[in-house]
Every structure is written in C-alpha cells, then in structure tokens.
Structure 1
C-alpha cells in the first residue's frame, strides 16, 4: 500500500528521471514502542520514589538489626494508638536495670526545652539503664512524660525505667517501632 504525500517543493525538481524526494513508508506501531518505554520509565521512577520515601520514613530497612537510627526515632510521632494502651496498675512489678538485657531504649524530647532528652538519658545511665539513643519526638507539645513499650513482656522493664525517671505513666504501644521501649518526655519532667 502506497501512501500519497501532499505536493511540496521537491515535487517541482526536474533534474532527472525522478521527481520528488524519496520517502519510505511509515512503519506501523512505532507510537506504541515509545509509549511502552515511557510507561516502563515511569514505573521504575515511581518504584524508586516509593522505596526512597519508605527508607527515609524509617518504615522499611534492609538490615535485620533492631537498633533504631537517630533519624528514624527522631521523627517518631508521640501520639500512640489509644486501643493499644495498658494502665500502669495492671503491669507487673518494676524491673531493675539488670533485667534490661538486650532491650533497646530510646529517650525522645517531646517539648521545646533544649537538652531535655540528654538530661534524662544521663539520669537513666547513672541509674544503670543502657540508653540506645536520644532525639526529638515528632511533636513538641507533650505535657506528660510517658514510657512506651512494645511487648507485654517488657512492661516490668518499662515500669523500672519510669520509676528511675520519677514518673508513673507507662503504656503499651506500637507507635515507636524502632525501639523496644521509648520514653517521650513531657513538660512535667523536671529532671
């Protein structure tokens, strides 16, 4: 099937037996090839973007380690789910620093007071607890200091940490996935 092109200036050339420029027939399907490459590139870029955001957010890591990173724990939100909370009166007796074992402990400053997390970390260290890292909580308007723990078996250790800080609020929560026990310091913490 021959395609006829509109008449142009090359059709007026009369220097030989041929008239007009040679134009090959257009190949069918070339638009789909370009579309397929564009769709593939878009998919790869979206996938990489999601992966980078997940890594920056701390919701995904390539290591099997349970050690929290400073940037992940610093961006953690200080608002746990209310359904996962457990009153302190139902928790077992407080544990000692010797009972901590390999439990990771993070101290987060939930106020605008500079150096409060370091001050609390020093107090816990002098009481014998091993603080894994310190940082700022995701919010700065926290009024009450709360010790959050992930698993029921860590309730006694959380009670011991709360006792060392001179607070009583202890809650079970999955809001801080990068540490076994997270202390969010509020405006009530005097140090």
Structure 2
C-alpha cells in the first residue's frame, strides 16, 4: 500500500504544456561548455603558433648571427693573414749580399827592410857589387858576406809571409825569380847569390 503524505503546495501545481525544463538547462550548460572549449582550443592553437614562429625566428637569427660571426672571423683572419703574409713577404726579402770585390790587401814592398847579401860563388867581390846596386835602387843593405855552400840559382830568403812581396821585388831587381821562406838567417831578408848571377844583371 503506498504511503500517504499530507497535502502541500506542490499538490496545487496545474499541468502545463512545458516539459523537460531540466533538459533545457542542461542543453544551455552544454552550449556554454562547448564555447569555452572552443575558446580554449583557439587560445592554445594561437599560443602554439606564436611559439612556433618564435622558434623559427630564433633559429634564423642564430643562423644569421653565426654567419655574421663566421664572415667577420674569415675577413679578419684573411686580413691578418694577408697582412702577415705581406709583412713576412717584405721581411723575408733580405737584401742580397753584395759580393765583396775587394781583395785582401797586398803587403807593400818595404825597401827599408834590412837585407843581407851573401856570395856562394868563387867570384870575389860579387856580394859587394850586388849590394851597391841594391843601395842605388833604394834598398837598405845591412851586411854582406860569403855563403859556405855553392848555389846554382840566386835565391832570396824571407823570414815571414808578409815579407814575400819584398823578397819578390828584390829578386826581380837581381834578375831572378826564386824566393823561399826560411828562418835560418839572422836578417829578415837574405840574398844568396848563385852561379847564375852576373854583375850585368
């Protein structure tokens, strides 16, 4: 048996043609939710689009900046390299060494050098006559004498290399060409007259 309730204000409600009031309210709520969802989707899509554009622009800017940096470095390096090469090219060109055309100074003939004249022949007075001839030519003859060992060729002996020009000049004056370096004599330059020597020379 159904339970009985005392009458209240709801018992006085008359029938109406309006139906599904709760459904209409639900439909409105559903429409609002759809609008909000669409708006959220639009906002999200817009934000994603902005983010993508920023990423693309950022990547392009980075590439341009890297290219600019690379270009500057390349220019700077090449410039420096060019300068360096230029400088090194200039500095590497050393002035060619001028070949010295001057010869070592030749020792001068010194007629003031003490000269000794020795006679190795059997002809008496030959050393004295040769000495007189040399003095007349400006030579300084310090002594004369005889040489114990006969010589075939008149020879001029000199004690040091710097006297060789003097010895050669003296030999030429006496009509010979034979000179020899030796330290066996007391004087720096010594003439030993050989059998080839003649007073007429």
Q: Calculate the TM-score normalised by the size of structure 1.
A: 0.47
Higher helix share: 2
Higher relative contact order (CA 8 A, sep 6+): 1
Q: State which structure, 1 or 2, has the greater radius of gyration over its C-alpha atoms.
A: 2
Q: Calculate the TM-score normalised by the size of structure 2.
A: 0.44
